[in-house]
Structure 1
Amino acid sequence: MGQADAVTPRAEILEGKTSPASDIQMTVVEAWSIAKNLFVDPELNHADWDSLLRKTMAHVGTAATTDSAYAGIKAMLGNLGDPFTRFATPKEYESFRISNDGSLEGVGLMIASDPSTGSVVVLSPVEGGPAARAGIRKGDQLVKVDGLALSGVKGEEVAQKLRGKAGTTVRITIRRQGGETEQDIETQLLRETIVFSPVFATMLPPHLQRDGQLVHPAYIKLSSFSQNASADMHQAIDKMEEQGADEYILDLRDNPGGLVRAGLDVADMWLDGSLIPRTIVHTINRAGETSPIETAAARPLTKDPLVVLVNNNSASASEILAGALKDNARAALVGQQTFGKGRIQSVFELEDGSAMFVTVAKYLSPAYHAIDKIGIAPDVMCVPKMGDEAVSDPLTAEDPVRAIEQDSCVKAAERHLDGF
């Protein structure tokens, strides 16, 4: 969630092995300096930053392993009170870069830690991947990986354990809620090289509006803002236009965000900035100065009516896009209140191949609505009904179009489009 314009690592070290303390101490100083100079809150959450540097340097100087030393850096940054400003070890950073490239070797699961319970839950299986084929579902809780209990283990650490060389296997145990009962399911998955698109698009069956006009709706699901999101979205809209689409449903439900640049590029495809620049988002820097980011001076790929589906897991770049389309009166939002992550991170690679993710700005919607810890309210509230889960991954359904059609919020979106 947030901006992530990463660069190629300059060096690598082996985690868990001993390393000269001076090398890690240099990393401490780098991280400390970046936070001090660039963190969005110039007061640094009122932390005694100089004292924390001395404390962390002392810890690193006596740490037996790089893992322990890196834990000290993470603890130092924890004093900023911002869960999105964080330190990534070289291995964690490499995993991040892989996930944002649009391909990886693993089992194909999007997961996250539930902050209220500490458990690791499945946001969605990657369409057509090993986990999806094995029947892993959104909402399943991961409880073991290769026999290791995951209680208290962070989502990123779990993701690393799931990834591995294509052709190798990993055994996972999930816990599935079924009414008032829970069921633990163990399965072995074969890792693959997964090249995936964050975009799924299809035409839905035509139907008559209330005025008797026959319309041809197109459905586009955007699951993340990865490196290929913009290009794939462009291709999807072009394809739907060629097939005669005259209204659109853009599904951002369960989209956790990703690259802010991708979110801005996708907004450009829907907003008309050819005559008057349209504001996509306002950013607020650490000095409290507000600046607009506007559309390119270009025509949108389509001017057809648009509805955007959102829910509680639509976050970060998803909220930038949803806010831009709503406040510019380009689209109505249907669904639930969005997540509420109104902060932008920049990524800084450090000398040892680790990285710093630092919140450098906050953002407001084009109409200056605050989003952070609030979210965006939909124009039309829609709570999913039993059976709607199938649409989270249309390709895993036996009949994707039928699964989408049966989704209660897709139906609500179509009803709203009938009023355009």
Structure 2
Amino acid sequence: KQILYPSRWKRSRAQHQRVVMLWFRAAAVLLLLPFSSQGFCLHPKPPRIESRTKGFFSFRERGNEEFGFARMMDRSSETRPSSMQQQQQDLALFLKRVLASVVLSCLTLFSPIEFDITTQQQQSHLAPTVTVTLSQASALSEEQILVADVWKEVTRQYFDPTYNGLGADGWKQKRLDAVKQTTTLTPDDSEKVYDIIRTMLSALNDPYTRFLTPDQYESLTAYAKGGSAGIGVSLIADPSSGQVVVANTVEGGPAEKAGVQAGDVIVEVDGMDVTSSSAEVVAAKCRGEVGANLNIAIRPQGGKKVVPLTITRAQVKVNPVQASMISLNNNGNSKVGYIRISGFSQETTSQVLDALRSLKSPSALILDVRGNAGGYMPAGVDVAKLFLPPQSRIISEVDKSDRSTIYIADGAGSVETKLPLYVLVDSRTASASEIMTAALQDNERATIIGMTKTFGKGRIQNVQELSDGSGIAVTKAKYMTPNGQDIHRVGITPNVMAKTCGPDDTVAACVDGVL
């Protein structure tokens, strides 16, 4: 009741072994047994037949006397062959069995190596099979290779083995669909290829795993290194509305000079509606050549009117760290050291270290990460090390195999571990700034102050360049706080819920009643 479909080869070792054994047994019955000394009979002792009946493969020797299988089973007389006759029979039997073995070997050699056995009912429900031969693989277009590279990197790195519920088979199907869509495209259709890749990645339902065009990749890496050509804003998606809002502006940057403030909603960029775009996409559109104008439309925080602005891009040196001594009791005594960290780049740790050294005998320290959307994750870890005693746990990074990489304060980077420490947060405190905040809170090193929970981004991305200069950001791990909490989409609850501590509120208002 089963039908063998050699054309539908699949990797099924158990089915392969079963069918091969069937072929071996059938060949043994058809080829080996006829050449045995007992003919077709499968019993230990052959039935006796009439002496005049002749079996297969009889031959004549010694004149007219017959020798063969039938003659050897003569009921009336069983003549034992001579030594010479026995040797001849054994030789013939040996040669025939060798021939049978050769035939069996040929059957095995030229049979399908892997195949599937399918019932007639199952055949109509089979999904279409896509077969790629070696010659076809070597002829893949650049567009198909780019799609395959993106799929391969996500498969290799993605932190969730279920692909956010899509499943391994579903994720494979997305690759086949994407490759099929690129078969008619040419190198001039790069934007179409990029859209196909974005569609494939969107199936993961993960806004942080994303494709970056060459310009976006270059801008992102420039920001991580501490400099970029843009308007000097840090953007984040509002957790309630999903709209892109300004987390903070660079002091003295083009955006600040144009009147952009923290909390403003970005509505349009160069005539394109971006209300449903991600913060990364909008940020990339804001970057560009030095001296080029950028037309944006913003909706001020709490307002309804959309305000159009034209801002000239400039080479913005991202210096996210500012430090000063401040007075909180209005008596003129500047006793508290204040450090504002607006973002994390590769230079942030050294900048915070310089800021600490610039403060003269503070009685306490305040770290302000309101509106800090994160950035370079290792910087968040290293800044936390500055304030933690040796052997303090910072985070645990968990990958797709459920293996944990634990980040520990080694003591070499510890600078200030005893002064009272306070951290100001808001709903736009995210990513690397949350790593630092959680480490200081769970180790009871700092008091966290804010009006709301933090943003809640507990995923870590790896960004890498692709063959055509584009890039891909892949969520490679989730992180757990020192107390084992996953803050993703949950956020960090402040130790002190302040009545006033918005992005534009003063430090004194945030710490009123605490310091």
TM-score using structure 1 length: 0.81
Does the C-alpha gap of structure 1 residues 81 and 148 become closer, same or farther in structure 2, counting only changes over 3 Å?
closer
Does the C-alpha gap of structure 1 residues 360 and 130 become closer, same or farther in structure 2, counting only changes over 3 Å?
same
Report the alpha carbon displacement of residue 253 of structure 1 after superposing the two structures with TM: 1.3
Give per-residue Cα distances to partners, 1:30-84, cap 9 Å, x unaligned.
Answer: 1111111221111223331221111000112234621111111111122222221
Matched, 1:194 2:316: yes
- Written as runs of structure 1 = structure 2, the 5 A alignment for 1:43-82 is 43-44=162-163, 45-47=165-167, 48-63=170-185, 65-82=189-206
Report the alpha carbon displacement of residue 169 of structure 1 after superposing the two structures with TM: 2.4
Matched, 1:36 2:151: no
Does the C-alpha gap of structure 1 residues 149 and 329 become closer, same or farther in structure 2, counting only changes over 3 Å?
closer
Report the alpha carbon displacement of residue 234 of structure 1 after superposing the two structures with TM: 0.6
- Written as runs of structure 1 = structure 2, the 5 A alignment for 1:290-305 is 290-298=404-412, 300-302=414-416, 303-305=418-420
2:485 is aligned, of 369, 382, 394, to 369
Partner of 1:10: none
Which amino acid in the other structure matches residue 83 of structure 1?
Answer: P
Unaligned 5+ segments in structure 2 are 1-138
Query: Matched residue of 1:98: which SS?
Result: helix
Q: Find the aligned partners of 1:43 and 1:150 in 2 and give their Cα distance.
A: 31
Which amino acid in the other structure matches residue 356 of structure 1?
Answer: I
TM-score using structure 2 length: 0.67
Report the alpha carbon displacement of residue 319 of structure 1 after superposing the two structures with TM: 1.3
1:122 is aligned, of 228, 246, 268, to 246
Does the C-alpha gap of structure 1 residues 147 and 353 become closer, same or farther in structure 2, counting only changes over 3 Å?
closer
Q: Find the aligned partners of 1:208 and 1:161 in 2 and give their Cα distance.
A: 44
Query: Matched residue of 1:218: which SS?
Result: strand
Unaligned 5+ segments in structure 1 are 1-19, 392-402
2:398 is aligned, of 284, 291, 295, to 284
Report the alpha carbon displacement of residue 295 of structure 1 after superposing the two structures with TM: 0.8
Does the C-alpha gap of structure 1 residues 120 and 377 become closer, same or farther in structure 2, counting only changes over 3 Å?
closer
8 Å contact kept, 1:207–1:215: no
Matched, 1:360 2:476: yes
Partner of 2:453: 337
Report the alpha carbon displacement of residue 280 of structure 1 after superposing the two structures with TM: 0.6
Which amino acid in the other structure matches residue 58 of structure 1?
Answer: K
Which amino acid in the other structure matches residue 473 of structure 2?
Answer: F
Does the C-alpha gap of structure 1 residues 105 and 208 become closer, same or farther in structure 2, counting only changes over 3 Å?
closer
Query: Matched residue of 1:301: which SS?
Result: coil
Report the alpha carbon displacement of residue 114 of structure 1 after superposing the two structures with TM: 4.1
1:23 is aligned, of 138, 142, 165, to 142
Larger Rg over CA atoms = 2
Partner of 1:89: 213
Query: Matched residue of 1:68: which SS?
Result: helix
Does the C-alpha gap of structure 1 residues 215 and 189 become closer, same or farther in structure 2, counting only changes over 3 Å?
closer
Q: Find the aligned partners of 1:314 and 1:380 in 2 and give their Cα distance.
A: 16
- Written as runs of structure 1 = structure 2, the 5 A alignment for 1:8-407 is 22-44=141-163, 45-47=165-167, 48-63=170-185, 65-114=189-238, 117=241, 119-177=243-301, 182-205=304-327, 207=329, 216-240=335-359, 243-273=360-390, 277-298=391-412, 300-302=414-416, 303-335=418-450, 336-384=452-500, 388-390=502-504, 403-405=506-508
Query: Matched residue of 2:247: which SS?
Result: strand
Q: Find the aligned partners of 1:380 and 1:206 in 2 and give their Cα distance.
A: 18
Q: Find the aligned partners of 2:273 and 2:171 in 1 and give their Cα distance.
A: 36
Q: Find the aligned partners of 1:56 and 1:38 in 2 and give their Cα distance.
A: 19
Report the alpha carbon displacement of residue 389 of structure 1 after superposing the two structures with TM: 4.0
Report the alpha carbon displacement of residue 197 of structure 1 after superposing the two structures with TM: 0.6
Which amino acid in the other structure matches residue 328 of structure 1?
Answer: N
Deviates more, 1:292-301 or 1:354-363: 292-301
8 Å contact kept, 1:207–1:216: no
Report the alpha carbon displacement of residue 93 of structure 1 after superposing the two structures with TM: 0.7
Report the alpha carbon displacement of residue 177 of structure 1 after superposing the two structures with TM: 4.9
Query: Matched residue of 2:475: which SS?
Result: strand
Which amino acid in the other structure matches residue 217 of structure 1?
Answer: V
Deviates more, 1:188-197 or 1:154-163: 154-163
Which amino acid in the other structure matches residue 162 of structure 2?
Answer: E
Cα RMSD, aligned residues only: 2.4
Report the alpha carbon displacement of residue 186 of structure 1 after superposing the two structures with TM: 2.6
Between Structure 1 and Structure 2, the one with more strand by share is: 1
Which amino acid in the other structure matches residue 327 of structure 1?
Answer: D
Which amino acid in the other structure matches residue 342 of structure 2?
Answer: S
Report the alpha carbon displacement of residue 271 of structure 1 after superposing the two structures with TM: 0.6
8 Å contact kept, 1:249–1:309: yes
Does the C-alpha gap of structure 1 residues 314 and 177 become closer, same or farther in structure 2, counting only changes over 3 Å?
closer
8 Å contact kept, 2:426–2:503: no
Q: Find the aligned partners of 1:72 and 1:145 in 2 and give their Cα distance.
A: 23
Give per-residue Cα distances to partners, 1:341-372, cap 9 Å, x unaligned.
Answer: 11111123222212221111111111112211
Query: Matched residue of 1:46: which SS?
Result: coil
Which amino acid in the other structure matches residue 409 of structure 2?
Answer: T
Query: Matched residue of 1:280: which SS?
Result: strand
Q: May I ask how many residue pairs the two structures share in their alignment?
A: 369
Q: Find the aligned partners of 1:340 and 1:115 in 2 and give their Cα distance.
A: 9
Identity rate, percent = 36
Which amino acid in the other structure matches residue 447 of structure 2?
Answer: A
Deviates more, 1:45-54 or 1:261-270: 45-54
Which amino acid in the other structure matches residue 87 of structure 1?
Answer: F
Give per-residue Cα distances to partners, 1:16-39, cap 9 Å, x unaligned.
Answer: xxxx98112111111111111221
**Relative contact order (alpha carbons < 8 A, sep ≥ 6): 1 or 2 greater?**
1
Does the C-alpha gap of structure 1 residues 122 and 21 become closer, same or farther in structure 2, counting only changes over 3 Å?
farther
Query: Matched residue of 1:249: which SS?
Result: strand
Query: Matched residue of 2:245: which SS?
Result: strand
Partner of 1:8: none
Does the C-alpha gap of structure 1 residues 121 and 21 become closer, same or farther in structure 2, counting only changes over 3 Å?
farther
Partner of 2:79: none
Does the C-alpha gap of structure 1 residues 208 and 110 become closer, same or farther in structure 2, counting only changes over 3 Å?
closer
8 Å contact kept, 1:198–1:228: no
Which amino acid in the other structure matches residue 348 of structure 2?
Answer: A
Query: Matched residue of 1:183: which SS?
Result: coil
Report the alpha carbon displacement of residue 159 of structure 1 after superposing the two structures with TM: 2.8
